[in-house]
Structures are given as structure tokens and as C-alpha cells.
Amino acid sequence: MSSYSKPVIKYCLLFVVSAFCFSCQHRLSQEQTAVIFAKNKVTELTDSNYSFLKKIGNQSQIIGVGEATHGSKEFNEVRLAFFKYLVQNCNYKLFCFEGDFSTFLPVSNYVESGIGEPEDLLLNTSWFLWDGQDMLKIVEWMRAYNKDKSSEQKVRLIGIDMRNLEVILLDIKKYFKANKTSNQDEILLEIANLFKLDEKSAQYLKELQRLSDLVKADTQADHNYSLESGNYLIHYLQLNLEEEIAYKKASTLNQKMDLRDRFMAQNTEWFCKHSNMGGKALLAAHNLHVAKMRQGVYKICGEHLKEDLGIRYFNIYIDFASGSALAHGGKHNNIGVYNLPGNKDAFSYHLQSAQRNSFFLNLRDADHKTRAVLNQLFVFNQLGSTFESDAQASAKFNLAQQFDGYVYLPAVTAKQKIRFKL
């Protein structure tokens, strides 16, 4: 079987921009800026000033913390600072992120057990946006925290995306090689057959469904599993297998995108549900995934979480005024550093003009006048994993409708790779 890959999703906001009326946008005026800062408790972000998270953390089960680019390091720096506080003060144990579970499983195991070298494990994920120094700092802090903790006290790093069926099959194979079950021989034979088939054929999908049924039959009697007991893995792999089958059956890009976001939400909630320690999670994903309302034709992850959890889902938009990001781009779609000078029409441009430092604003608790300002349509700087042009690196939406919290960063810088593979 050839290496499994899904089409690269270039969500550089083209579908977002097309969904809104350009003529309706507003610029943040000096008067509006004054309203925001005069009427609300705006908290500057410092190394020790995160107590504003306590109320949010205690009232929430999942906190979605976004990023305006995939390729700038400051977003993960903010997330790590937030996660440290939430772990130490609000009993959060799960750091769920927009990465494939099976691909990142060795990194997750390192966080729990200390087995392996974190730099090598991150490089082996083959995902350039997660093998940077910023992610390494998250992994190393989590490992250091876990060193003297019991299984129930440990924090866990979990990929909740679905991108690599081949690795899922290899993980299932590894499990059933080590565990004798009634369908063990059939399952191992089925996996061997799948690796011989064309993954685009109807027969492949048929055999994949048969494998899913066999695995489910061998595991459905085991209801007493949890993250802390360590016997959750095959149950989650079974869930991933069902998701991959649904994804393969989808016929259009919109259907695939809809499924991807639905499964990201479902997977995050699954891990919260199967944690004995209260199941509280920080969800790290792009702003477009953690938002509360669809910005195109398909339903997004944050929209599912909002429907399922209500006020127990709190989402935070992280914005920036200017800077740089690591991204695919150019004629040959190579990885490189791209400058992001910022859009003079953008919401953050006027904050930069006012020389504001990094800050947090709780939009859920904002006063009426502030919400009236932030319910207007503003431009925001944004970029996915692919850079095409300055004009496309932006989005338009109503901030107060989409998010519960807002973080402003004056400048961001491109991620620093751990080291490039030779």
C-alpha cells in the first residue's frame, strides 16, 4: 500500500473571505479603541500574570486556544504559559492539538514515560509545523512535570487530528501482535491484505470496514478503560478507524473538511470523557478550527464543541499585528520564512499604532459598549500552512460572536526548526 496522505488543505482564508461582504468591513477607530480599554479589565501578559485564567479554567471543560498562523512560535509560547497555569491551578491534564494521533504517539509516550529523545521523535513526525523549538519546549515541560507524578496526576499530549491511516493500521497490528484475542489471527491477516491493495479501490474500503468490525468485536466487551489505566489505546484506534472509513466515503472537499472538524471535536471530547481526572483540556488549533460559528459552508470544530458543551467551552483568538511565519509557498511549494507586514485595515494594526503590549481581553465578560464595537465586521491577519499572497493572509468576521477571549501580540516570528533533516 502506498503511503497514505490526504490532500493538503490550503485554508488561507479563501473560503472565509468569499463568505463575507467586503463593503461591510470596519476599521478600528481611536474612539473604539478607547472604549475597549476604558471599559474593560485588559490584562497585560507577563510571566506571572495569568490569574485571569482561574475563573475561565474552573468554569470550562475545554479551552480552545487558537493561532493566527501555523508557522509562528509565539502562539505555542502563549499556549504553554496558559497550560502551565491551568495544570497547576485548575486541574487540567490534557494538551490536545491539531496533529495526527498515531503519528505523534511516540512523542505522547515520551511525555508519559521519558522513553526516547524528544528532538528525534518530533522530527520523525514529518510535520514541519510541529517539529520546532516551540513544540519542543511544550514537550520538555510536560515531561519534566510528569517525572515524579503518578499515572493519575500526569499531563498528556494528544493529537486529535486524522491524517495518517497507514500509521493507524501499524499501531493496530502492533497491539494485536502483543495481545491474544479471539479475532487476533483474522485481524493480522486483514491488515496484511490491506497493505497489498490499492487504497483507492472499492475492495480496499470493503476490507477496511471488515477490519473495523473485527477490532470492534474483540474490544467491545471491555468497558473499563481510561487514559490513566493505559488500556485506552485500542479503543481510540478503533474510533480513528471508523473516522477514516467515513472520510474515505466522502466525495467532495467540503464533506471531507466537515468530517475532519467534526472528528477533531469528537476526539477531544472522547479523551476528556475517558480521563479519570476530570477530563479538562486545552485544545491547540488554528483560530479557524476553534471558532464558534462556521465561516464557510462546513461546520467547524469549535461549533461542535459549543453545541455539546455550551458555556463549558471557552475559546480564545490569538491575533498579531505583523511579523513572519514558516509556511509552504512559492512556485515549488517549498518550506520557507515569509514576512507578514500586517494589513492596514486589520483590527490589530490600530492596536499596534497605539503601541499596545501583549494583552488578554475576556470578551464574554465585556460590557455592552465593547460588545457593540466588537460585533462589527473587522479584518484579522491570518495564515494557514500555505502562503500565497499578502492579500489572502486575512479574514473578516465578528470577533465577539466567534470568540470568548482575545489575545493580542504586537509581533510574531517564524518558528525555529529543531534541526533540518539531512
What does each of the 422 residues of the chain score in pLDDT, given as a tens digit?
433 344 444 443 333 333 334 445 567 777 787 777 776 678 989 767 899 999 999 999 999 999 999 999 999 999 999 999 999 999 999 999 999 999 999 999 999 999 999 999 999 887 777 889 999 999 999 999 999 999 889 999 999 998 789 999 999 999 999 999 999 999 999 999 999 999 999 999 999 999 999 999 998 877 778 888 778 999 999 999 999 999 999 999 889 999 999 999 999 999 999 987 778 999 999 999 999 987 677 899 999 999 999 999 999 999 999 999 998 887 777 888 989 887 888 899 888 877 788 999 999 999 888 888 888 888 898 888 888 765 556 778 899 999 999 999 999 999 998 865 43
Neighbour count for residue 342 (Cβ, 10 Å): 20
CA distance 143 to 146: 5
Residues 367 and 40: beta-carbon distance below 8 Å = yes
Task: Report pLDDT for 54.
Answer: 97
- pTM here is 0.90
What is the signed CA dihedral for 300, 401, 95, 279, rounded to 10 degrees?
-90
Neighbour count for residue 399 (Cβ, 10 Å): 21
Listed residue (155, 70, 176) closest to 108, CA to CA: 155
In whole angstroms, how far apart are CA 384 and each of 6, 10, 173? 16, 7, 34
In whole angstroms, how far apart are CA 8 and each of 11, 231, 267, 420? 9, 33, 21, 21
CA distance 294 to 291: 8
Residue 362 forms beta bridges with which residues?
405
Residue 381 forms beta bridges with which residues?
394
CA distance 225 to 233: 9
CB within 8 Å of 401: residues ≥ 6 apart: 292, 293, 375
In whole angstroms, how far apart are CA 93 and each of 13, 134, 238, 281, 414? 32, 20, 23, 6, 28
CA distance 267 to 60: 17
Task: Report pLDDT for 163.
Answer: 75
Cell of 176: 494485536
Task: Report pLDDT for 392.
Answer: 54
Task: Report pLDDT for 25.
Answer: 59
CB within 8 Å of 364: residues ≥ 6 apart: 314, 404, 405
